[in-house]
Amino acid sequence: GSLLHLGASFYCLLVISLIHILSSIHFRWEEERSTDGSKWKFLEHKGPVLAPPYEPLPGHVRFFYDGKLLRLSAPAEEVATFFAKMLDHEYTTKEMFRKNFYKDWRKEMTSEEKSKITDINKCNFTEMSEYFKAQSEARKQMSKDEKLKIKEENERILQEYGFCVMDNHKERIGNFRIEPPGLFRGRGDHPKMGMLKRRIRPEDIIINCSKDSKHPKPPQGTRWKEVRHDNKVTWLVSWTENIQGSIKYIMLNPSSRIKGEKDWQKYETARRLKKCVDRLRAQYREDWKSKEMRVRQRAVALYFIDKLALRAGNEKEEGETADTVGCCSLRVEHIKLYPKMDDQEYVVEFDFLGKDSIRYYNKMPVEKRVFKNLQLFLENKQPEDDLFDRLNTSILNKHLQELMDGLTAKVFRTYNASITLQQQLKELTTDESIPAKILSYNRANRAVAILCNHQRAAPKTFEKSMQNLQTKIDEKQKQLWATRKQKAVQRIEEQLMKLQMQATDREENKQIALGTSKLNYLDPRISVAWVKKWDVPMEKIYNKTQREKFAWAIDMAEEDYEF
DNA sequence: ACATAGACTTGTATCCACGGTA
DNA sequence: TACCGTGGATACAAGTCTATGT
């Protein structure tokens, strides 16, 4: 059913495309797509760039165990260097990191090494660490010529391996290098931190390309695990990593047709949600009164997802990853209920670790009915029990699918982000200078980032860089006072104003990360339309990479575009 | 209904080149 | 010329969601 619908929506898009074709402009994202689920007809590439082989340390770099010199076998030495390279990092002081590292390291040791090395705390990696620091220092000190040579070599590799041909187009590949071996660094309190991420060999690698293409060849004397020709998927290369046992892929760059089209489709789904969101909201409010606990939980969860832009919250395997949650996996310990708080009633306090162990903290007054439901859900539960014990993402998404074709929990995030940007832009933009307009744009973007909880650690240099900017402003101010000529005054006033806008922007952005929402949540056509309407140069809003990624939108949207 | 594999999107941290400045 | 701050690129981890098998 849904496949047919997808076909139908593509058909609509095709009609739009046809109009473009008729007007004799023909872009690649408007080419006809198949309806049988195949993603391409022809795919040719050179395969991945493998990690360089291990180069043993020079003899003068020593490793000491319990104060005594110990020569390590190459495999054991390699793993030791991974640790040594991270010695300055806080990770290496964590008990879990050291324990996991030590356990995996032992697996690489000879039996003699195993018997000698019995306590990680007696290992002295400092000479190795110093050596790598010196190396990186030497790299910085290289002559212009040497640096240029490296640059040219990188460029050559990029030209050879960084592109593929998919159907009729040469496309940029996203990540064409196989991840090198090293120590796994999870985010947050990860139970597997420090484990050895092993080296990927050609024999681990699956190649995907079309039958009639020139197949990538494995390095001399090796073979690929498999060469397959599956045009129902978009990846070129895959392998299984050993930490979680999950599959990693080499895929195309966001500028590619295949990614751009998917992106476009995502925003079209969010726009369809816009058309029926009132109905859905009325529906879940009704469901708060349902006789069925399951339905009430579903409705309250959906309210959170809609109102707070929470993620769906899939279940995670305990002990395999950091303990983080989303909406459906919230536990009793993650919320607190306050019948009264200051001058507000029915306040819910959220405090939990979300994706990437980023803390979500928020206090929100809710409607009485939601509050009462939450009290009900909490009855007779322990802190570690699920808040929504009758609900998971699969149940929720099945329900959403019935309400609107293609609707899943994450569409709400996209929808709410994009509609917020559009509203905020309307509200904030005034017909002033370009810097003032850009400040408005960034403020609108910021409203979305706050909604989506896209935080960042305040940059270490924040205070200093703020001071520098203030110094510049003060100097400009003095310069202005010292200037008499009318024309010069005007120019300096403009410069001053620009600096002030910049300062405001930077200050407000201290702990906010705009990039993620800009790249993943905001329909780029809203921004394109805004730029056209207010005569702001596109480059002020989107850098080169972003313009490439959003090429489809830049081509498509006019100043009257409505999300 | 449930578990798991697989494919793809979303997310932060880190690296690095570049341009401006002392 | 060395240094420094910054924006953009890169790396890769961590989510979401679908398909498939039992």
| Residues A68-95: tens digit of each pLDDT | 999 999 999 999 999 999 998 888 999 9
Report whether pLDDT(A120) > 50.
yes
Query: CB–CB of A428/A440 below 8 Å?
Result: yes
Confidence of residue A11 (pLDDT cuts 50, 70, 90): very low
Nucleotide nearest to A247 (CA to C1'): B6
Q: Among candidates A43, A20, A44, A46, which has minimal Cα distance to A31?
A: A20
Length of chain A: 563
Question: What is the CB-side half-sphere exposure of residue A400 using CA atoms within 13 A?
Answer: 27
A253 touches strand B (CB under 7 A): no
Residues 1-30 of A with CB under 7 A from strand C: 2-3
| Statement: the CB of A521 is under 7 Å from strand B | yes
Structure confidence at residue A30 (pLDDT): 56
Which residues 305-334 on A are within 7 A of strand C at the CB atom?
311-314, 316, 321-322, 324, 326
| pLDDT value, residue A28 | 59
CA distance A487 to A135: 54
- Alpha-carbon distance of A299 to A277, in angstroms, equals 14
- Min mean pLDDT across A116-125, A198-207, A415-424, A435-444 is at A435-444
Residue A15 has what pLDDT?
44
Catalytic residue among A284, A415, A521, A542: A521
The verdict on whether A65 is a catalytic residue reads no
The CATH architecture annotation of domain A43-50+145-253 reads Beta Complex (2.170)
Q: How confident is the model at residue A2 (pLDDT cuts 50, 70, 90)?
A: very low
The whole-angstrom separation of Cα A438 and Cα A535 is 11
Domain ranges across chain A: 43-50+145-253, 64-141, 258-411, 413-556
- Residue A135 has which token pair? 């190396």
Q: Is the CB of A191 under 7 A from strand C?
A: no
Residue A37: which region, alpha, beta or left (left: phi > 0; alpha: psi -120 to 50)? left
Mean pLDDT of chain A: 89
Instruction: Report the SS3 class of residue A276.
Output: helix
> How is domain A64-141 classified at the CATH fold level?
Arc Repressor Mutant, subunit A (1.10.10)
- Cα–Cα distance measured from residue A361 to residue A337, given in angstroms and rounded to the nearest whole number: 14
Q: What class is the A413-556 domain?
A: mainly alpha
At residue A501, does pLDDT exceed 90? no
Residue among A74, A50, A65 at smallest CA distance from A179: A50
Q: Is the CB of A118 under 7 A from strand C?
A: no
How wide is the angle at C-alpha A179 spanned by C-alphas A121 and A544, nearest 5°?
125
Please indicate whether residue A466 or residue A116 has the higher confidence score (pLDDT). Answer: A116
- The CA-atom distances, in angstroms, between A206 and each of A198, A227, A560 are 17, 6, 47
Q: Is the CB of A22 under 7 A from strand B?
A: no
CA distance A384 to A310: 20
CB of A410 under 7 A from strand C? yes
Q: Which fold, A258-411?
A: Topoisomerase I; Chain A, domain 3 (3.90.15)
Residue closest to C9, CA→C1'? Answer: A545
A539-550 mean pLDDT: 92
